Amino acid sequence: QVQLVESGGGLVQAGGSLRLSCAASGRTFSSRIMGWFRQAPGKEREFVGGISWSGGRTDYADSVKGRFTASRDNAKNTVYLQMNNLKPEDTAVYYCAASSRLQSDIKRDYDYWGQGTQVTVSS
């Protein structure tokens, strides 16, 4: 069992930065890949980025490549999403999720989800 709690969301102007954190509880945290997803009003939840259990591999949606960076600290059971050069279209609720797979950008492959944190980017 893994429980996830996101934090770090907020209101920022376009071009600004935020760092999201996802604190996990559960003995198997370090063996799971972690993903970040987001959901804007009226839209489907979409993959943003993911990071392997070792942190050695990361994957990103094309829309955030070069701007967002995922990292993790297994000693702290925490995953991060550094978001730079934010755009109004990045406005959404951001979720972290855990999967036992080796790699995935598909929602259904993720077993555990946090409650989400709101990110709002003003123009």
User: How far is residue 115's CA from residue 94's CA, in Å, rounded to a whole number?
Assistant: 9
pLDDT band at 55, cuts 50/70/90? Answer: confident
83-122 pLDDT, tens digit each = 999 999 999 999 999 998 888 999 999 999 999 999 999 9
User: How far is residue 123's CA from residue 108's CA, in Å, rounded to a whole number?
Assistant: 33
Q: Is 109 exposed, middle or buried (0-12, 13-18, 19+ CB in 10 A)?
A: middle
User: How far is residue 62's CA from residue 57's CA, in Å, rounded to a whole number?
Assistant: 16
| CB of 24 closer than 8 Å to CB of 110 | no
- Averaged confidence pLDDT in the chain: 94
Nearest-CA neighbor of 47 among 87, 81, 21?
Answer: 81
pLDDT for residue 34 is more than 70: yes
